[in-house]
Amino acid sequence: MKMIFAQGNPEPDYTSSRHNVGFSILNTIADEFDAKWTNKSKFNALTSEIAINDEKIILVKPTTFYNETGISVRKLVDFYKLNTASDLLVIHDDLSLPFGTVRVRTQGGDAGNNGIKSINSHLNNTYTRIKIGISNDLYDQMDDSNFVLSKFNNNESDQLEKTIIPHVSELVKQFCDETIKLASFKNIEKK
């Protein structure tokens, strides 16, 4: 069994925000498999179950706020007795990467990301991550919190739908069948 855990904020006001790009990706994957979301309050999460190559995959959107997602992931990892190094994939936005950049890493520090800091403090830092770059020219004009909670512009939304979300969805499937290239770097062309 594997768990795909997306960083994000639970309230509707944040649905299309940069911080919630991980939720958007999991929603797309759940839709592809006709999977429904279930509120699992004991895990502080919405979960959905799918199967890839006959392996059970749990998709998770925490119901804690972004900076406290470690609470949810810890409960789930303990309950399902997951090996974080092989069974946990975290998808999150990355403010230090330009929009259109996707990186896959197997471990590391939080680089100032409070959600990752929360996960690292509740677990460890040995789990696979897919980082989605969200930075653009507006970032220089806003503070961090306002920028990550802002919405993607129309061009970015179009790129997300047509290029980035399908690419990351494919990486998720590669993680599930253990063919993902853990040190890969992909810079998606902006149109």
Helical residues (DSSP H) of 19-68, grouped into ranges: 21-32
pLDDT in tens, 119-177: 999 998 899 999 999 999 888 888 889 999 999 999 999 999 999 999 999 999 999 99
Q: Which helix (H) or strand (E) segment is 122 a member of?
A: helix 114-122
> Quick one: pLDDT band at residue 106, thresholds 50, 70, 90?
confident
Per-residue model confidence (pLDDT) at position 188 = 56
User: pLDDT by residue (tens digit) across 37-73?
Assistant: 999 999 999 999 999 989 999 999 999 999 999 999 9
Q: Which residue has the higher pLDDT, 137 or 183?
A: 137
- For the chain, list the domains and their CATH numbers: 2-187 (3.40.50.1470)
The answer to whether the CB of 69 falls within 8 A of the CB of 118 is yes
Let me know if 167 is a catalytic residue: no
If you write DSSP's letter for every residue of 78-109 in order, what string do you get? Answer: HHHT--HHHHEEEEEEEEEEETTEEEEEEE--
Name the active-site residue from 19, 92, 122, 167: 19
Average pLDDT for the chain: 91
pLDDT for residue 190 is more than 50:
no
Calculate what percentage of the chain has a pLDDT beyond 90.
74
Token pair recorded at residue 27: 């929603």
